[in-house]
Amino acid sequence: NEPVCECNTCYKGPDCSNFIPHCTANADCGDPLFLEPFWMQHSTSSALVVSGWNRMSYTYNDNTFFSQQLERLIHKLHAFVGNAITRNRYIVFGAGSTQVLSAAAYALSLQNTSSQSPTRVVASIPYYTLHKDQMEYFNSEKFKFEGDPYTWKNRSDGTADVIEFVTTPNNPDGRLSGAILDGPNVKTIYDRAYYWPHFTPIPAPADEDLMVFTLSKLTGHAGTRFGWAVIKDETVFNRMVTHMKMNSLGVSKDAQFRAFKLLKALLEEGTGIFDFAYRTMKRRWERLAATISSSNRLSLQKINPQYCSFYNEVREFSPAYAWLKCESEEDKDCYEVLKAANIIGRRGNVFGSEDYYVRLSLI
């Protein structure tokens, strides 16, 4: 039961309190291990035993790939947290939100009204790079990544089919942003991976046409590979289900079972996981902010406190990532500036930004 040290490259010892001098602090990856201590405290209620003969079939008894029990629990979860309206909505599962996001892009690009040109896919800078990388990698004739939506706003060719990815709260800068484009041919995919009370105040339940969530940033179980979409339109839902069938013939039943067990344990604890996770994120953010405030060479993103309907009070900002800026002209390559001090972040250009910026993971 040895805990994994929070920053396992810089601390060792049974309680992770021994600092290793001259170590490299790796703040690059977004692996949400900050939730490990919570699950250590709830190891019995979240444990699974699966016999060899259990869950062998491709499908459930109703002949579908998706567990209805899990679907009901997801409705309950959103109703409890108040972060999304899911009543009378369809829910699709996937192998992480990564698979769900690509299914959504495929499904929406099939609604393209002009069969001549591919659907334009856009995401505001700084964007979560997967939205660009997937589009480029799949290299479909149905869609093409075209950068920042501001480039296409108020353009005379604005009637083209567009898919806008909106990550809110945003990765990397934590902002609760909205869509830039609208119009009859614009479809929006809301990536709501971080729309949980540990990372952001929840001003109101989200009610968009297509919203994507993930277990990874809610419970921290990134390795389970489980995500879901909440969808208003039946045709889009059916197209996403078809995509899942073509892509992986459904979603691992073991992953669905694990997700069920974890969400059940989470709901049994009331606000427990959110209290723990918010405290942890806020503490990390405040320590970093206090450190950076003593420097005029570096700065952090600023976002004002906001009313949170989950906690029924105004809450401070507690983002998953710090979006650090090197303020000086000479520090054009902020990544290298930090690296010289043994701190590994992620370069601004990975998010479509300038290299004056670096993302540091706090999770």
Tell me which residues touch ligand PMP (CB under 6 A). 30, 96-98, 128, 167, 171, 191, 193, 214, 216, 222, 227
Angle of helix 96-109 relative to helix 130-138, nearest 10 degrees, comes to 60
Minimum CB distance to ligand PMP smaller for 86 or for 214: 214
Phi (first) and psi of residue 253, to 5 degrees = -70, -30
Q: Which residue is nearest to ligand PMP (CB)?
A: 96
Q: How far is the CB of 96 from ligand PMP (least distance, A)?
A: 3
The CA-atom distances, in angstroms, between 56 and each of 7, 51, 193, 235, 245 are 38, 10, 30, 30, 17
d(CA 264, CA 278): 20
Q: How far is the CB of 251 from ligand PMP (least distance, A)?
A: 12
84 contacts 213 by C-beta, under 8 angstroms: yes
Q: How far is the CB of 170 from ligand PMP (least distance, A)?
A: 8
Q: How far is the CB of 320 from ligand PMP (least distance, A)?
A: 8
Residue 171 tokens, joined: 């990765």
Q: How far is the CB of 225 from ligand PMP (least distance, A)?
A: 7
Minimum CB distance to ligand PMP smaller for 105 or for 193: 193
Residue 346 tokens, joined: 């992620």
Q: How far is the CB of 127 from ligand PMP (least distance, A)?
A: 9
Q: How far is the CB of 191 from ligand PMP (least distance, A)?
A: 5
Minimum CB distance to ligand PMP smaller for 112 or for 200: 200
Minimum CB distance to ligand PMP smaller for 128 or for 337: 128
Single-letter amino acid code for the residue at 317: F
Minimum CB distance to ligand PMP smaller for 98 or for 309: 98
Minimum CB distance to ligand PMP smaller for 128 or for 278: 128
Residue 246, H or E segment = helix 234-248
DSSP letters of 135-167? HHHH--TTEEE---GGGGTT-TTTTS-EEEEEE
Q: In terms of residues, how long is the chain?
A: 363
CA quadruple 353, 280, 8, 298: dihedral sign: positive
Minimum CB distance to ligand PMP smaller for 74 or for 222: 222
